[in-house]
Each structure stands twice: as C-alpha cells, then as structure tokens.
A and B are shown apart, each in its own frame.
Chain A
C-alpha cells in the first residue's frame, strides 16, 4: 500500500512547495540567473488538518534534479511544536481521493551562509532538507534569507510586511539538491514535511504563492482541509476570486483509515470533513490568505485572511453616526426648551 501510493504520487508529481523565495547566488545586475536559478513550476499540494487545537500543515519539497539548493519560505500562524518528516503518501492519497491528475511546482535557490538576523527557534534536518523556524520582522527575516543565499524577489518586502504584521514566525526550507542526489533520490521524489502548530484555527498562506511572479503569471495549487466539521472559509471560494471549491463532504472511512496509517498521522480523527480548495488565480489576484473557522462559529478572521490589519477598527456605520447626532440634538433642544419653559413659568418674586 505504502509503496504503491508513493509511486503513484511521484508519477502524479504531487508534491509541492509552499512558497517562493527564488534564490541563486547573491548577485546583482540585471537578468542574471544562476546556474541553478531556473524555476521549475509545479503544482502545489498542501494539507491543513485541524484537530484538538493543533494545525497539521503538511506539504512536500520535490527534488527537481541537478545540483545546488532549492529554497522556500513559509509564513506560519504560530510557533510549531513539532516539525518532522511527513507521511509517505498522505498528499498523494488526498489527490487520489478527489482527482487523479496532477502536476507540481518548485523553485530554485542556492543557499549557504551562517549569519543570523532573525531568531532561529528550531532547526531540523529531514533527509536532504534543512528546515529553520524563524522569528522576526521583515528586515530580520529578509536579512536571514539573504545571508543564507536566497535571492528575494522584488515583491518580497511588501509580502514580508504583509505576513509579519500578523505573525513573526516563518519557516525557511533549503533543499540540498547535491545531498538529494547523493542519497539516490530521483527527480520527482518529494520530501514530505509535517508541521504541527498549536493555534485557535487553521490557516493557509496563499498570497506567498504569488511571490516572485509577474502580473501575467498564474498560481495553481490545491489546498486540502481536514477538519472536525465543515469549515467556514474567507475568502469564500466562489470562483470569482481565483478560489474554487473542489470538494466538500464528510471524509470517507477509507480515506481516514489510510491517512491514519501513514507516518505521524495518528492524530486523524475517526470522523472529519474533507474540503478541497482549488486555486487558479493570476498573481495580482492572490492578495489574501485563506482564513478558516473550524470551530463551528462560522466566523473566519478577516485579519487572518489578510483583509484587515491586526488592531484595525471596523469602519463605523455612517447611519449610526447620524442616529447618534439626532439623539444628541434631541437632548440638547429638549434641555434648552426645558430651561426656557422653567424661566417663563417661574412665578414672580415677591417681597418678603
């Protein structure tokens, strides 16, 4: 079972990368693309599962062949309690559950270096993948990435600001292509990563998928959600915003059983709701993230969707101001009228 699904996954090329820090040796001057700077775009697949107050964010980094290193940066909603190798077939099994045809996507980088600007909260080596959990603002994370050989694209300052305003936690991953080759990994093999994050609600960063893309380019990705009940999503995947609801139904018993039998997937509950959001958007269209309310309150956060800034005040209803003004005027006029009435009706003073 494991091997057959794993092979199927490789054939479908299901693995993916979360983000996009394009990188190559640090160079300046126009048009320079390093020997491993070519970007091979594959379709991305991610699972955001949520159960017992923890988000299980599972994605895979695919070996695209050649030497050098590949890098990515993923914003996280909180500090992970665990980063470990993901199950071998979870993502592929999800793909099989909803549709068999897949592609995938990846990016290149050349990372080395040791300078540390952002705080390194956790470092984990998974096969040929070096993962570092960072905490810092845009400047710190940007410096860390640059110092480690990433070439951040020109839209990265704004995108880093966008994420750091809500959470200063980022996960940087460097995939060492040379190490992967030495390990005998074949092109298309993916390294699944399972990130466990204690959080009030699951969340999936989407805007960062457009990082480094021109206005004419498109973002294609599939996001699977496995939650205790049907989630409420913001923005709603209505097809007009580049998000489309591809699947929404109670997860089948066979799916849950298969997922639970994979490495590190014993958290999968006995019943759950499976949602698939298909992303097919132009890069400028994807200016938001996917906020999810899995609590049943059906109130996904506008802040987590990136539609409001943290601490921003909801715009007051103009009619409320009109109403307040009318009430104040009523009291004022009433008060003046009352005083005038008392003055007019005051009995004349009489001598004692």
Chain B
C-alpha cells in the first residue's frame, strides 16, 4: 500500500520540477530576445563628465528608435548634436543659444539630464559633438555607428 502511494507522488513532483525548469527557460529566452539589438526600444545612456562624453562610441541599427539619455554631471551646460559633417559645420559657426526643436540637437543644462529619441534611417558613421565654444577642441566628441537594419 505504501509503495503504491509513493509511486503516485513521483509524477507530481517531476511535473512540478519540470514546470519550473520550463518556466525559467522560457523566461530566459524571452529576456535574451528582449535584449537583442533592433528588436524593440533601445536606450543608450551617455554620461557627461569633465566636458567629455564618457561613452564616446555607440553602435545602433538603422530604423530602430533609440532613446538617448544624456546625463550632465558638470556644473556647466553642454550640447549633444548628432549628424553628418554638414550639420556640424553649420553649428561650428552657429549662434543658437539653446537647442530644443530637434531630437538630434539637444542642450543639456548643468547638472541635469535630457532625453531624446531618434530613429536613424540611413546607415553610416555620424559624430555627436558639443558645439559650445571650445568644447569640441577640448575633446567633447563621440562616434555613432548606424548599421543596416
């Protein structure tokens, strides 16, 4: 009698263990796919300290919306302007006091963060630069690589 009861319990335990393993496995697969580039919303954090982008190389996929979180830890204002060479050439002699109208041209006030979301459609190499006087020469430059979707 006792042996019979034991035999009946084993399938239940095995099912429970198997179910847990399956759930963990599925969760892992889901997490892996969620982290895969280009599969959903992408967030890139770029801390700024001592007038440098602490993350000065970023790679993303074309056609995917990317949210850039710019954290300015400095006591002075900075900019994050990304684009092709012509864009930067224009800003090197520009006179706009603040950039707020374009997601690719952001002013980050001292000690604050700014968030902008950009979808790059054209693969290529872009630069992001702070065009406040002297900042580019000081090294406030980063590279953004956009690969084919």
Known: A138-B75, A151-B133, A154-B140. A30 touches B110 (CB 8 A): no
Tell me which residues across on chain A come within 8 A of B50, comparing CB atoms: 155, 157-158, 161
Q: Tell me if B54 counts as interface (CB < 8 A to partner A).
A: no
Q: How far is the CA of A155 from the CA of B49 in the complex (A)?
A: 10
Pair B92/A28 contact, Cβ less than 8 Å: no
Chain A nearest CB: distance from B127 CB in Å?
13
Q: Are A146 and B95 in contact (CB under 8 A)?
A: no
Complex Cα spacing A151 to B76, Å: 9
Q: Please, how many angstroms separate the alpha-carbon atoms of A140 and B76 in the complex?
A: 10
For window 29-68 of B, CB contacts with A under 8 Å fall at 49-51
Tell whether, in the assembled complex, residue B76 and residue A152 are in contact, meaning their CB atoms are under 8 Å apart.
yes
Judge whether B74 and A30 touch: CB under 8 Å: no
Given A28-B96, A30-B91, A32-B133: A155 touches B77 (CB 8 Å cut-off): no
Cross-chain contact of B133 among A30, A142, A161, A214 (Cβ < 8 A): A30
Q: Which of the residues B75, B98, B138, B140 comes within 8 Å of A28, measured between beta carbons?
A: B98
A30 engages B92 (CB within 8 Å): yes
Chain B residues, Cβ within 8 Å of A208: none
A154 touches B75 (CB 8 A): no
The listed residue (B49, B75, B77, B130) touching A141 by CB distance below 8 A is: B75
Q: Contact at A143–B75, with CB atoms within 8 Å?
A: yes
B137 within 8 Å of A (CB atoms): yes
A28 contacts B76, C-beta separation under 8 Å: no
Could you tell me the distance between the alpha carbons of A279 and B138 in the complex, rounded to whole angstroms? 24
Once the chains bind, are A26 and B97 in contact (CB under 8 Å)?
yes
Residue of A27, A33, A154 ringed by the most chain B CB atoms within 10 A: A154
Q: Assess the A212–B131 pair: CB atoms within 8 A.
A: no
- What class of interface size applies to chain A in its complex with B? 20 to 34
Q: How far is the CB of A147 from chain B (nearest CB, A)?
A: 10
Q: How far is the CA of A214 from the CA of B99 in the complex (A)?
A: 26
Whether B93 sits at the interface, judged by CB under 8 Å, is yes
* Interface membership of B104, Cβ < 8 A: no
Most interface-central of B74, B94, B98, B140 (chain A CB within 10 A): B74
CB-defined contacts of B107 to chain A, threshold 8 Å: 28
A28 to B132 CA separation, bound complex (whole angstroms) = 5
Contact between B110 and A27, CB atoms less than 8 A apart: no
- With most chain B CB atoms within 10 A of its CB, the pick from A26, A140, A153 is A153
Q: State the CA gap A32–B94 with chains docked (Å).
A: 7
Inter-chain contacts of A146 with B (CB < 8 A): 75-77, 110
Instruction: Scan residues 86-145 of chain B and give those whose CB is less than 8 A from a CB of chain A.
Output: 91-99, 107, 110-111, 130-138, 140
> Nearest CB to that of B131 among chain A residues?
A30
Residue of B nearest to A150 (CB): B76
* Contacts A31-B93, A146-B75 known; 10 new A-B pairs at CB < 8 A: A27-B97, A28-B94, A29-B91, A31-B131, A32-B94, A32-B133, A139-B111, A151-B133, A153-B133, A155-B51
Question: Which residues of A approach B to under 8 Å, CB–CB?
Answer: 26-33, 138-143, 146, 151-158, 160-161, 212, 214
Can you list the 5 inter-chain pairs with the closest CB atoms, starting with the nearest? A142-B75, A29-B94, A30-B131, A154-B51, A154-B138
